[in-house]
């Protein structure tokens, strides 16, 4: 299938900016360090606290468990709480489970839609190598 110019422009528009990519790279480095030190097997709350410390040490701007308005037809109907928002642009949801499921990914997509942020990560710390537990999710239009 060949891409026309409009398709190429649309694809480029959906890709995160270099600044967001820089934040993502820094966040992943922090998560890898937490996993390197702690390994798999702890509760999600332990990884959350360790990651907060690592973000502070690396001076990565973050909000921990911020309240995100959920809207329905222009009305607020509830709130969501992603684990982290990095630099006001990047959603990070943590898990410590045997296997990620489609509902875990749907949760990140919902947070992306609610915040209108372009990029999110689903990170499962319950894996031998963290690279296997990181899922990058781009909000598509």
pTM comes to 0.87
pLDDT tens readout for residues 3-62: 444 444 444 446 778 899 999 999 999 999 999 999 999 999 999 999 999 999 999 999
Domain count within the chain:
1
- For residue 89, the Cα-to-chain-centroid distance in whole angstroms is 10
Can you tell me which residue has the tokens 């990620």? 100
How far, in Å, CA of 29 to CA of 66, rounded?
Answer: 22
Instruction: State both tokens at 68.
Output: 């995100």
pLDDT band for position 2 (50/70/90)? Answer: very low
Structural domain harbouring 46: 5-138
Instruction: State both tokens at 67.
Output: 């309240």
């Amino acid at each position: 299938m060949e891409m026309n110019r409009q398709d190429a422009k649309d694809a480029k528009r959906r890709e995160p900016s270099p600044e967001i990519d820089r934040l993502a790279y820094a966040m992943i480095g922090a998560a890898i360090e937490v996993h390197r030190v702690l390994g798999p097997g702890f509760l999600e709350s332990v990884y959350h606290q360790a990651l907060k410390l690592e973000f502070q040490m690396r001076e990565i701007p973050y909000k921990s468990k911020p309240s995100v308005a959920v809207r329905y037809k222009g009305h607020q109907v509830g709130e969501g709480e992603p684990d982290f928002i990095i630099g006001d642009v990047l959603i990070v949801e943590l898990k410590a489970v045997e296997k990620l499921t489609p509902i875990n990914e749907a949760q990140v997509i919902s947070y992306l839609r609610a915040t209108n942020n372009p990029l999110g990560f689903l990170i499962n710390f319950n894996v031998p190598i963290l690279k296997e537990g990181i899922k990058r999710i781009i909000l598509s239009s």
